[in-house]
Amino acid sequence: MTTVPSSIAPPARPLNRNDYKTLSLSALGGALEFYDFIIFVFFATVVGKLFFPADMPEWLRLMQTFGIFAAGYLARPLGGIIMAHFGDLLGRKKMFTLSIFMMAVPTLIMGLLPTYAQIGLWAPILLLLMRVIQGAAIGGEVPGAWVFVSEHVPPRHIGYACGTLTSGLTAGILLGSLVATAINTIYTPEQVSDYAWRIPFLLGGVFGLFSVYLRRWLHETPIFAEMQQRKTLAAELPLRAVLRDHRGAIVLSMLLTWLLSAGIVVVILMTPTVLQTIYHFSPTVSLQANSLAIVTLSLGCILSGALADRFGAGRVLIAGCALLLATSWTLYHSLLDHPGWLFPLYTLTGLFVGVVGVVPYVMVKAFPPVVRFSGLSFSYNVAYAVFGGLTPLVVSLLMKESPMGPAYYVAVICTMGILVGAYLWKRGR
């Protein structure tokens, strides 16, 4: 009697206690790992003064500091592809645990590094090395986490699982913002420069190592375990099979990653600076509004993932992108005349950025299990390195022409998202 693989005929069961434990531990680890990756940007100015020569021009110091931050993004594709390769051959859980270990240890070391005044040129070199390792780790963590949770839950709950995990990642950004705000509130600028800047990195390292311990309680995904038992793992280099046989899935995944990066980079990461420079809000008000937007973004990720399970990714993408286009356009267009609308508008816009919770749902379904990790990781990391890196530059150029630059960029990307949604809907997805 032939047994039908669970990937073909999965049991239509509800989420159980083990599913919720897996989702909780995965989302918590993802939040802490994203916190470790993002905390650097909140202390970039202080770090730049401590890790580069004192007589260096301020613009050059900042450029080199953000260059070190960008190095983490450039390392993402290589780290993600290598970890995905072994994830498809050795197991999802091993790489899932390794990625958070590779993030926690460099973060801890960054909090202990000697400064330029103590060891000279070795200070920025060691900082750069730690940042590259962090980038490689996050390149494996995000795709690995999506694959891990999607292969644990029943297929009719994949959207909810991926949305919950994405919500955890965005919560890591909020955690970084809150910790940075607390450090700068509790300590004077002199204390922050002397020693307090180290606290967020040390906290991140300790929490990360705790997450490594917690992930010991997770189990290998049933789909990978079944492929291992049946000896149906990739017979060749997984990435070669992806590039040869799944080009359509790569294009689809890269376009959706562009949508995801635009929503996060423009609306969440760049807008606080836009609010201060173009609309003249204070840093405190801008960050408060941004924190609320991140909270609703996290909720929106879960909601859009759950709706994709019920109505399909195509319909949710069409509706979500249309609403994001409308609210973001209204946000950037109306604040000069109606500054009092900032909090409700930014909060609502953050909610609809949550449409990005649909992105991993589509990507994990676009690739077969045997090369899923490699296909998703290659598409996501290469696209994020390109679009995540170019987006701030393009938006800055658009803002030279008009203060509505961010709105124009988001509108174009949302239009693309609507077209991708229509394509998916037409194909019954």
- Dist. CA 22–CA 37, nearest whole Å: 22
Which tens digits make up the pLDDT trace of 100-109?
888 899 999 9
Mean pLDDT for the chain?
A: 85
Q: What is the pLDDT of residue 236?
A: 65
Q: Name the range with the highest mean pLDDT among 87-96, 139-148, 176-185, 255-264.
A: 255-264
Q: What is the pLDDT of residue 4?
A: 40
Residue 6 has pLDDT above 70, yes or no: no
Q: What is the pLDDT of residue 428?
A: 78
Rounded average pLDDT over 378-394: 84
Rounded average pLDDT over 11-24: 76
Q: Name the range with the highest mean pLDDT among 18-32, 40-54, 120-134, 224-238.
A: 120-134
Residue 252 has pLDDT above 90, yes or no: yes
Q: What is the pLDDT of residue 421?
A: 96
Q: What is the pLDDT of residue 299?
A: 95
Tell me which of 59 and 101 has the higher pLDDT: 101
pTM of the model: 0.83
In degrees, to the nearest 5, what angle opens at C-alpha 214 toward C-alphas 140 and 382? 10
Q: Residue 153 has what DSSP assignment? A: S
Q: How would residue 353 be classed by pLDDT, with cut points 50, 70 and 90?
A: very high
SS (H, E, C) 57-72: CHHHHHHHHHHHHHHH
- Strand ranges, E, within 275-347: none
Q: What is the pLDDT of residue 318?
A: 97
Structural domains of the chain, ranges and CATH numbers in brackets:
17-233 (1.20.1250.20), 235-429 (1.20.1250.20)
Helix (H, G, I), strand (E, B) or coil at 34: helix
Q: What is the pLDDT of residue 234?
A: 62
Which tens digits make up the pLDDT trace of 22-42?
888 888 878 887 888 788 877
Q: What is the DSSP string of 75-133?
A: THHHHHHHHHHHHHHT-HHHHHHHHHHHHHHHHHHHTT---HHHHTTHHHHHHHHHHHH
Which tens digits make up the pLDDT trace of 182-196?
898 899 989 999 999
Which tens digits make up the pLDDT trace of 260-316?
989 988 898 888 878 888 888 887 888 889 889 999 999 999 999 999 999 999 999
Q: How would residue 401 be classed by pLDDT, with cut points 50, 70 and 90?
A: confident
> Residues of the chain with pLDDT > 70: what percent?
93
* Sequence letter at residue 256: L
Residue 319 has pLDDT above 90, yes or no: yes
